[in-house]
Structure 1
Amino acid sequence: MRDQERQDDPGIADTQRAHWQATYAAHPRMYGTQPSEAARDAAADFRAAGARTVLELGAGHGRDALFFAREGFTVHATDFSATALGQLTAAARESGLADRVTATVHDVRDPLPLPDGCVDAVFAHMLLCMALSTREIRAVVDEAARVLRPGGLLVYTVRHTGDAHFGAGVSHGDNIYEHGGFAVHFFDADLIHDLAKGWHLHGVHAFEEGELPRRLWRVTQARR
Structure 2
Amino acid sequence: MADEQELAEIQRRHWQHTYTAHPGMYGEQPSAPAVHAAGVFRKAGARDVLELGAGHGRDALYFARENFTVQATDFSATGLEQLRDAARTQGTAGQVTTAVHDIRDPLPLPDASVDAVFAHMLLCMALSTKEIHTAVAELRRILRPGGTFVYTVRHTGDAHYGTGTAHGDNIYEHGGFAVHFFDRALVDALADGWTLNEVHAFEEGDLPRRLWRITQTLPR
Taking structure 1 as the reference length, what is the TM-score of the superposition?
A: 0.96
1:133 alignment counterpart = 128
| Unmatched segments (≥5 aa) in structure 1 | 1-7
Q: Paired residue for 1:162, among 157, 160, 169?
A: 157
The residue aligned with 2:33 is 38
Q: How does 1:1-224 map to 2 (within 5 A)?
A: 9-224=4-219
The AA in structure 2 aligned to 1:184 is: V
Distance in 2, Cα, partners of 1:65 & 1:209: 19
Counterpart Cα distance in 2 of 1:73 and 1:121:
10
Structure-1 separation of matches of 2:135 and 2:87: 26
SS in 2 for 1:161: coil
Aligned residue identity for 2:71: H
Q: CA RMSD in A?
A: 0.6
Separation of aligned partners in 2, 1:135 and 1:181: 22
Residue 88 of structure 1 deviates from its aligned partner by 0.3
SS in 1 for 2:217: strand
Structure 1 residue ranges (4+ consecutive) displaced by more than 4 angstroms after TM superposition: none
2:185 match: secondary structure: helix
Amino acid at match of 1:52: R
**How far did residue 9 of structure 1 move?**
1.1
Cα drift, residue 211 of structure 1: 1.3
